[in-house]
Amino acid sequence: MEKQEPFWNFRLVPDIFVDYNEIANRIPGLRVGTQPNLGLIDQIYGETDAFTQWRERDKTPWERFTAYVHRLNARSPKNVSYKVLYLTRHGHGVHNEYMDKVGEGNWDDYWGRLDGDGVTYWVDAQLTATGIQQACELARFWETVALEQKIPLPEMIYTSPLARCLHTTELMFFDAFQKTGRRFAPLVKEGLRERLTDHTCDKRGTLTWINQAYPGFLIEDGFSEEDRLWSPFLSETTEEHVARKQRVLEEIFQRDPNNIIALTVHAYAIGAILRACGAEEFVVREGSTIALLVRGERPPLGRYDVMYY
């Protein structure tokens, strides 16, 4: 894979959300789940004089934060952008269940390279009943808790093309969008898929299948009918995966004017996004959502003859 120098520089804005790494480190092996209020720290942003505090006191933490993000973008140079990212790990998949059954070592060394065991199949692994329940719990969050706390729905949704992410996205957001009268039209992006390994669960379905199974989803330009990325003979390095997520973030920050973005992805994909933002990785529990505020900065356009796309 040809190395491409980053065009944007990304970093997490600190002291906005809870310390996810601290949560993950409390107990060895703990995975971070969806936090109360999506982990947002309750605070007043900017000036803290008595009048400001009085004016802001009746607003929810998310109302104050959303207004703060809008102010940041309004006051920033044109080459700087702030976006709130909702990162969701798909619900429990068939491949997760089988790995739990046979053990991680046996899965990595043998079973993960097969299509299935003759009864269970995990090529482009589907959600299990547990995974469906997890996604439905997230749907209840967006339909009830988010409304009460004034947590805004994403203005744009992006998803990995793997079946477990497509299904999670539909279950999680469809009803909330319908009830608010908004069009539900997630965009499927190839670059959001999990780190590519020789495991068949990382191989995606065809474009035809995605269109038939999820007709309301949009497909990015250049999306091929067959999976051209997966190979039983090659695996992506961590550095290659981080570079792929860097490019996805660059595309989103370059092209999408929205402030609040949702990404339905995978465990290693979330880790790669964190690394692309210069942050330490942690593991997110299946069927859970975390929120981040990301600052993106690109060099002034005058330094380049051609805009990057």
Gap between the Cα atoms of 231 and 14, Å rounded? 38
Cβ neighbours around 107 below 10 Å, total: 20
Provide the 3-class DSSP secondary structure of residue 283.
coil
Q: Which run of H or E residues covers position 222?
A: none
Residue 194 known to be catalytic:
yes
Specify which residues 159 forms β-bridges with: 188, 264
Q: Establish whether 90 is a catalytic residue.
A: yes
Q: Tell me how far apart the alpha carbons of residues 17 and 40 are, in angstroms, rounded to a whole number.
A: 4
Long-range residue pairs from 13-20, CB within 8 A, at least 24 positions apart, any chain: 13/82, 13/293, 13/294, 13/295, 15/41, 16/40, 16/41, 16/65, 16/293, 17/41, 17/290, 17/291, 17/292, 17/293, 20/282, 20/290
Of the candidates 190, 194, 236, 281, the residue annotated as catalytic is 194
- The set of long-range contacts for 111-116, using a CB threshold of 8 Å and a minimum separation of 24, is 112/197, 112/198, 112/199, 112/200, 112/201, 113/198, 113/199, 113/200, 113/232, 114/200, 115/200
Instruction: State the first-to-last Cα distance of the chain, in angstroms, to the nearest integer.
Output: 18
CA 299 to chain centre: 25
- So which residues are the catalytic ones? 90, 194
